[in-house]
Amino acid sequence: MLDYSTVTADADLENDLRALVRLSIAEDLADQVDWTSVCLIDATTTGSCDVVPRQAGICAGLVTLPWIIEEFDADIRVQCFGNDGAMMPAGQPLARLTGNARDLLTCERTVLNIISRLCGVATGVRRYVEKVAEYKANVYDTRKTTPGWRLLEKYAVQCGGAKNHRRGLYDGFLIKDNHLQLGGTSGQARLASEAARQALAWSDCEIERMHAPTLVEIEVDTLAQLRDVLPTGPHIVLIDNFSLEEMRQAVALRDELNPRVELEASGTVTIDTIADIAATGVDRISSGALTHQATWLDLGLDWADQTAS
C-alpha cells in the first residue's frame, strides 16, 4: 500500500532546524552579546552541562544538538547519551555539552526550547499510540503544525511511534469538501467519484519537470459519498467526523465494494476517543492534536562539573 513519506534526520530537517536556530539567535542577541555572561564569566572559563529531563518521556531531537551548536559557532563539544524514540527517565541526562562557559550559557535557552518542544510532542504521541496498540489502525499526524516547525514536529511524531501524513500540498492529492464544493458545474458540487477519477488521472504525471504525487486521498462526509467514491479506487478515503456506528458501517461498505481502499478516520479524535475509533476497524486515524495540543517536556541544563579557568 502506498503511504506518505516518513520524516527523518535528513538534509531537509537540518536546513529547517538551522533556520530556526538563526532566528533564535537573532531574538536573543540582536547582533550583540550575552552581556550577563560577558560581565560575570571570564572568557577562558570552561565547563560541562547536562541536558536533563525533569520528567519521564520520549526522547526526540537529540540529533539536532550538533546543528544547534554549529549555528552558534560555539566552542562546545556534544556528547549524546540517549537515542531519539527511546524512553527517558526523569533525572537521567540525555546529553552533555562541554566547552566555553560563556558559549554554554548563551545557547542554553535555544537548546532547551527546541529539545523540550520535540520531546513533548513525542511523549504525547506515544500515549495515543499505546491506546490503539491492540488494533490494526495506525496513528497519523496532520499539517496542523507550528509554522516553520513542520518537519521537526513530524520528526518528533515518528519518534513517538506514530506515522507522518503528507508534508505539504505537494506530496499527495487530498480532495476535501471545499474542493468538491468549488469544482462542480452549474452551481452543483462535484461528485466525489468524479474528483477522485480526475486526481487518479493526474497522479504521477509530469509538468515542466515537476512530478505529481502518486497517492490519492479523498475526504467524504457521508456514507452515500463513500459508496459513490469506493469503486473509483482512491488509495485512501478520509471519513471525516463520522460517528462510531457510521465508522463501522463505512468499514463494512469498504470491505464489500473495494477492500483495497484504506479508511482514515479524522475529527473528534482525542486521547479518550482514539481506542473506540480504532475498534471500528479503520486503517488509519489522523489527529491534529498530536502537534497542536502538545505540551513541552520540562528539561533543564545542569552543570555536570565545577567550571575552571
Q: What are the catalytic residues? A: 109, 144, 176, 208, 240
Per the CB < 8 A criterion, the answer to whether 299 and 82 are in contact is: no
Burial of 245 (0-12, 13-18, 19+ CB in 10 A): exposed
Spatial distance between the Cα atoms of 288 and 159, rounded to a whole number of angstroms:
16
- Three-state SS at 271: coil
Spatial distance between the Cα atoms of 277 and 151, rounded to a whole number of angstroms:
27
Question: Residue 230 contacts by C-beta under 8 Å, 6 or more apart in sequence?
Answer: 237, 253, 254, 257, 258, 261
- Phi-psi region at 233: left, alpha or beta (left = phi > 0; alpha = psi -120 to 50): left
Name the DSSP letter for residue 62: G
Quick one: CA torsion of 226, 227, 230, 235, rounded to 10 degrees?
A: 10
Cα angle 271, 151, 10; round to 5: 130
Three cell numbers at 171? 506530496
* H or E segment and range at residue 203: none
